[in-house]
Amino acid sequence: MFSSIPLVDQELLLRPFRSNDSTGLYEAVHESLQELKPWMSWATEGYTEMAAGEYISIARARWEEHTFYAFAVTRADEIVGACTLSSIHPLYRFCNLGYWVRTSQRGQGIAGRAAQLVARFAFERLGMIRVEIVIAVGNHASIRVAEKIGAHDEGILLNRMVIGKSIYDAHMYSLLPSDFDLVARL
């Protein structure tokens, strides 16, 4: 099932994480810790290659269960980030979209292109009718990505996120099938 899922644009390949991706994932996270730490609870100084491997194992298992989809964002066989679909609600058919790009690759539109590819995957392959992007107030880089890809700004949700030991209000953005010239399927 994993091999039938690559998502591509002119230079990016998004694919499920492979068992042997732990070194590449670790290197991308380690390079980007200063940018990730304020917004990702898992991004700590103690992040190790073993932690990357454990994440990949869990992500692959959750993919098979259809409860979490983690894509390695790659360019020229290098992991340049990740894009995920989580909090998948099968009854109401919406989910959460997350993304990050390694520090050395930021500012090139990679996060936005990856987010669009994964949102399209959610609509076309998973039958979602709504993809939500929930961003902590103050995470300006993620907000810029959501705005650049035309996500709908739906306002601020109070006490919406816990990151580490802090509670944050969050911006709610959404993407709909119609944003991709698709029709929501019933």
Percent of the chain with pLDDT over 70: 97
Question: pLDDT tens for residues 76-108?
Answer: 989 999 999 999 999 999 999 999 999 999 999
Q: How far is CA 108 from the centre of its chain?
A: 17
**How many Å apart are CA 26 and CA 16, to the nearest integer?**
16
SS3 31: helix
Enclosing domain of residue 26 = 2-127
Specify the number of domains making up the chain.
Answer: 1
**How many Å apart are CA 167 and CA 16, to the nearest integer?**
31
180 within some domain? no
CATH number where 50 lies: 3.40.630.30
186 within some domain? no
Question: pLDDT tens for residues 23-66?
Answer: 999 999 999 999 999 999 999 999 999 999 999 999 999 999 99
173 within some domain? no
- Stated length of the chain: 186
